[in-house]
């Protein structure tokens, strides 16, 4: 492992908009409209755009004939893609929370099953979950939480469907993963899947949701968490580079097969790729990407 040089002092000075434009020109960027570039530098920042600049650069110098509009097309594509995916991910998150709350509650007849340690694999982990939920309930300003506090004294915590509304997607997945296998299976069967796939794919969806929520780059991103691709039915739809964007989209389509099979996000995605002149081969998409993703919804 290469050790970091912690003795170096940061000495870069902030640059004015004019100085930023001059620097980009010196590095070989073709700029048709300086005012347009300044607008984006002013409202997005040089730093954020530099994430996209680097894919057109070698040693900070732009590849010959690189125009700012080339960079802007990718930035706009990324921005529009996050909006499309966020809508899809919202549906998935809501459905997962609903099923975690409903399936065990119906099977057990217990609206507060999460308070009982016998539903969980590990007593210590269960206590951590209860501590988290207690803290969230105490700090929450949601009307449903306030109503429960003002109306009921026992149990002290609200029913599971109210609790999951104030937990993040990731926290809800954590609760699911800590359940005993028999209870995880009750939930996973509502998706028609094995529990290991549901846990993995929901984690992928949660990670992607966080990137969308924080305006992180999706274009040419390789994620830190690999989706489970060795599935008897869906394995053939994934490509070889398991941590890339395409495989995450395969995961979303598999989940939508159960949750919302009529979702029209693929048409919107295709439209923005054409509008922004995006070559999907550069993102490891197969030639038949749309047909392949559509087929996931219809296969028996």
Residues 207-245 have pLDDT tens digits of 999 999 999 999 999 999 999 999 999 999 998 778 999
Q: Tell me which H or E stretch contains 99.
A: helix 68-108
Is residue 204 within 8 A of residue 231, CB to CB? The reply is no
- Whole-angstrom CA distances from 106 to 23, 66, 143, 163 are 63, 59, 25, 16
What is the helix, strand, coil percentage profile of the chain, to 5?
65, 5, 35
pLDDT single digits (tens) 77-107: 999 999 999 999 999 999 999 999 999 999 9
Backbone angles phi and psi of 126, in degrees to 5: -60, -40
pLDDT number for residue 4: 59
d(CA 275, CA 21): 26
- Residue 1: pLDDT band with limits 50, 70, 90: very low
Cis peptide upstream of residue 132 (ω within 30 degrees of 0): no
pTM of the predicted protein model: 0.90
């Amino acid at each position: 492992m290469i050790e970091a040089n912690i003795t170096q002092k940061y000495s870069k000075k902030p640059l004015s908009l004019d100085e930023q434009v001059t620097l980009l020109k010196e590095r070989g960027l073709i700029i048709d409209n300086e005012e347009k570039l300044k607008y984006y530098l002013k409202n997005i920042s040089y730093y954020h755009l530099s994430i996209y600049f680097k894919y057109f650069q070698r040693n900070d110098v732009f590849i010959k004939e690189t125009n700012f509009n080339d960079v802007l097309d990718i930035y706009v594509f990324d921005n529009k893609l996050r909006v499309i995916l966020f809508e899809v991910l919202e549906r998935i998150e809501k459905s997962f929370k609903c099923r975690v709350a409903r399936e065990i509650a119906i099977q057990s007849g217990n609206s507060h099953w999460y308070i009982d340690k016998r539903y969980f694999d590990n007593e210590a982990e269960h206590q951590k979950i209860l501590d988290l939920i207690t803290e969230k309930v105490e700090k929450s300003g949601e009307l449903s939480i306030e109503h429960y506090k003002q109306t009921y004294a026992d149990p002290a915590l609200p029913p599971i469907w109210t609790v999951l509304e104030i937990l993040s997607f990731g926290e809800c997945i954590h609760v699911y993963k800590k359940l005993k296998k028999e209870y995880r299976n009750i939930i996973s069967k509502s998706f028609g899947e094995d529990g290991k796939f549901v846990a993995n794919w929901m984690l992928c969806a949660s990670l992607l949701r966080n990137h969308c929520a924080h305006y992180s780059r999706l274009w040419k991103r390789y994620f830190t968490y690999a989706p489970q691709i060795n599935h008897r039915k869906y394995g053939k739809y994934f490509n070889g580079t398991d941590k890339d964007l395409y495989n995450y989209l395969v995961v979303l389509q598999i989940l939508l097969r159960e949750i919302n099979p009529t979702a029209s996000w693929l048409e919107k995605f295709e439209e923005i790729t054409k509008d922004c002149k995006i070559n999907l081969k550069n993102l490891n998409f197969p030639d038949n990407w749309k047909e392949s993703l559509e087929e996931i919804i219809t296969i028996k």
